[in-house]
Amino acid sequence: MLSFHGYIRRIRPFALSASLLLASVPRMAAEESKPDQIAEMAFKEWKAGHSTNAIALISEAIRTDPKESRWWHLRAQMNSLLGKREATIDDLGHALESEPRSRVLLQGRAEELFKAGRIAESVRDFDKVIEVEPAFAPYNWQRGIALYFAGRFADGRKQFENHQSVNPHDVENAVWHFLCTARELDFSRAQARLIPIEGDERVPMTEIHQLFAGKSTPEKVLAKVAIPAESPELTRQQQFYAHLYLALYFEVRGDVVRLAAELKACQPLATQDDFMSHVARVLAAKVNPEAWKAPLLIAPEKADSSKPQGAQ
């Protein structure tokens, strides 16, 4: 449920943000250690687009100071941006050896395990996150999605009900609550319990909500994204989300033919940095284990600016 159309709606603790690039290297100006110096060089290489050199330098910092979790975390974020899923998970595991109760590291590994399709392991880490930091539980919408794919529909429904308390204007949350309820109970009772939403102005979210309420059609959802938005990137995002939620609609309706068609439409629109693109990929693998073998794309506007955020 990555935000788009100018709306920052979710807390993403493992998000990759250019603005926080240097935050992971706290240091006194006169007391800079060798690993810190290496990391500074790595940041410059990454900014210049030399990802191989950047990772090699962070790897040198790890060899110099292998118990420092922030170096493992930084390399994990670099690997994540490059789509190196198993390497990312491995690096986060090493970081967690030093900080086993770090909410940020646990959340990060949970998300990466989900992206890798390792759902049961992902859920274990998501559950550990809320054990470590109960106050974070309402914000952890990613956990709800993982619970859905794990078949823990009642727990998923409760997670989205909890998230509603901190994010009341989000159609996507209402839809995932619907999906969990439909699996836990049935479609008609899920429709009767659909959470009403006002204020989500993102195209085509209102029409998607109407679809799940039984007051619209898939064709009307697609019509909303047929007109180009103010930028190609926004058009891509709108079209991706339309096809993703139509795929989920057809899945819960049991229409495997139209489900497959919508997932096929999602694939060229999905990007590496968007958690929901990985949701589409996991759904596609559930339908067809051979689907979506190709790497996801880097969103054009982010290809030159994505950098790892600060380790915590």
Q: What is the pLDDT along the chain (312 residues), one digit of tens a residue?
A: 534 333 323 333 344 443 334 344 444 333 456 878 888 899 999 999 999 999 999 999 999 999 999 999 999 999 999 999 999 999 999 999 999 999 999 999 999 999 999 999 999 999 999 999 999 999 999 999 999 999 999 999 999 999 999 999 999 999 999 999 999 999 999 999 999 999 999 999 999 999 999 999 999 999 999 999 999 999 999 999 999 999 999 999 999 999 999 999 999 999 988 999 999 999 999 888 777 766 776 655 444 445 455 443
For residue 226, give its domain range. Answer: 215-297
Whether residue 38 lies inside any domain: the answer is no
Instruction: Say whether the peptide bond before residue 13 is cis (omega within 30 degrees of 0).
Output: no
pLDDT at 298: 64
Whether residue 92 lies inside any domain: the answer is no
Whether residue 5 lies inside any domain: the answer is no
Whether residue 289 lies inside any domain: the answer is yes
Contacts of 139 (CB under 8 A, 6+ apart): 10, 11, 163, 166, 167
Give how many domains the chain has, as a whole number. 1
Q: Rounded to whole angstroms, how far apart are CA atoms 209 and 197?
A: 8
Whether residue 274 lies inside any domain: the answer is yes
Whether residue 256 lies inside any domain: the answer is yes
Contacts of 189 (CB under 8 A, 6+ apart): 181, 182
Whether residue 149 lies inside any domain: the answer is no
Whether residue 247 lies inside any domain: the answer is yes
